[in-house]
Structure 1
């Protein structure tokens, strides 16, 4: 079946790390760039950013890659944790000719965006983080955390097989993640189903889980570091998110020198899709602020 291409997007490929990174793009190449990092599970750039590429492309150059192991990116071994994924994003940005950008990230992609800001601050002009990972010390509770850790230790071949089996129940999975299933565009649900049964499609997220789940604590817990991120940051988080507690975004926004949290009622994990109009109402002024910000004399 033909892969999903969001409205207003063009599909291209970049040579990175000996493979091909699929990139959805839009907008004037000379416009200020935004880089969009999708989430984990069986996500890809077309799913997470289905409703955003076209409106963002009116004022910005949009670069939305599929991370290694996801979507249409091929020939690159999935790297594992958010630290390595951030470096993969940095190399993709360089291949696209993007020196720095406002970086968006949702869920796992938010974790990757945080790491990019910490590891390569000069590449991040601002952050837009939607229910980002990396901000909870334990997954839900110690019992759920322990079970998740044990599951992550299973052989990769078994994890991929289990992921493919779970992919048969796509609509139930989406219903469990969002607050109102009726807000989901049907092409997004269909693409999610295709990605869920793609051969090896769950390997990259399995490696992310193995890299971030410690026996008792999360190994990617970044709360002690986020205060070092100077880039202006907008958090956008559904109050009914069953996957990532909003408390982490709230605490991080309070610790960061230039950050704000938008808490969205009656909204689940995919807040940029579920509350699209509210998201645009918040993110477009944020981007205008960054675009019109006076240049730093040190630059």
Structure 2
């Protein structure tokens, strides 16, 4: 097994494939039957972050779940992690797969990517679901401190390598800081990711190039019906971010999950799946 392919005990390993579509060598998981549905994970995660929701959705959708550029087991060139670039490259991947998503579901930064794909006309789904969407730039000291830190890490791969010790306590602290409580099995997946130098470097490269300014200004122009699902205990992205986005968009609504943090699809997979199924039903039966 190569370092660029998930290990045999990785969640849904049997659904994995490596799909070369320039400029990336994508790791994609593809399972289920029904209408095409694209699932996009957040920064620092991988396709595995959807694995607990799969049993609730795979009978109704063909779930296409890639690792984002530089994340997980997707090999990507440096310098191509801007939001519009990621959106366009995902469009090229979908074309290669012959997929036309009727629904796009994005978590955290993946929610921003989903809306960017719609904004640019790269995808034309019937519905978008944004789970704990990271749709605003950092505020306060983090607005200047974190981007600078990310850029330094992206320019110096050794820095990312030194940070990627991936100890259990480090991973538990990182996840816990988002307001999410995960069991040991779920934490172990993130621990394995953080131990991958390429994953840490790819995450930092993405954050170094990340800007939501254009998307934020354009939310009011996005006509696609959108559901925001947000955990009320999210410590990484306040529920007020979802409230503002839902107000800005002409066909958007918000559902808040009580006692749930940032990684809602792993913490409360059945509840998130129920919201997706209910919202997607009109599209699924067309």
TM-score of the pair, normalised by structure 2 = 0.88
Q: Which residue does 1:194 correspond to in 2?
A: 192
CA distance in 2, matches of 1:83, 1:100: 18
- Aligned equivalent of 1:17: 22
Selected match of 1:261 from 254, 258, 268: 254
Change (3 A) 1:19 1:117: closer
- Segment drifting more, 74-83 vs 227-236: 74-83
- Equivalent residues of 2:87, 2:122 under 8 A apart: no
Match of 1:33 among 26, 31, 36: 36
Corresponding residue of 1:296: none
Q: 1:202 to 1:177 in 2, by over 3 A?
A: same
1:164-183 CA-partner distances (Å, limit 9, x unpaired): 14x3311221222234x2xx
* Alpha-carbon contact 1:5-1:11 (below 8 Å) kept: no
Question: 2:3 — aligned with what?
Answer: none
- 1:236 is paired with a residue of what secondary structure? strand
Partner in structure 1 of residue 230 of structure 2:
237
Q: Which runs of 5 or more residues in structure 2 are unaligned?
A: 1-5
How many residue pairs are counted as aligned between the two chains?
Answer: 277
Cα RMSD, aligned residues only? 2.2
Specify whether residues 75 and 175 from structure 1 end up closer, same or farther in structure 2 by C-alpha distance, changes over 3 A only. closer
Distance 1:231 1:121 in 2: 13
Separation (CA, whole Å) in 2 of partners of 1:132 and 1:101: 19
**Distance in 1 of aligned mates of 2:79 and 2:132:** 23
1:290, CA displacement in angstroms? 1.6
In the alignment, what sits opposite 1:147?
145
Kindly indicate whether residue 47 of structure 2 is the aligned counterpart of residue 45 of structure 1. yes
How far apart, CA to CA, are the structure 2 residues paired with 1:9 and 1:284?
25
Distance 1:9 1:236, change over 3 A: farther
In the TM superposition, residue 54 of structure 1 has moved relative to its aligned partner by 2.7
**5+ residue gaps, structure 1:** 213-217, 294-299
Given the superposition, is the C-alpha separation of residues 226 and 152 from structure 1 closer, same or farther in structure 2, using an over 3 Å criterion? same
Moved over 3 A (4+): 3-9, 75-78, 218-221
Q: In structure 1, what is the Cα distance between the partners aligned to 2:79 and 2:265?
A: 25
Instruction: For 1:14 and 1:133, locate their aligned partners in 2 and report how far apart those are by CA, in whole Å.
Output: 27
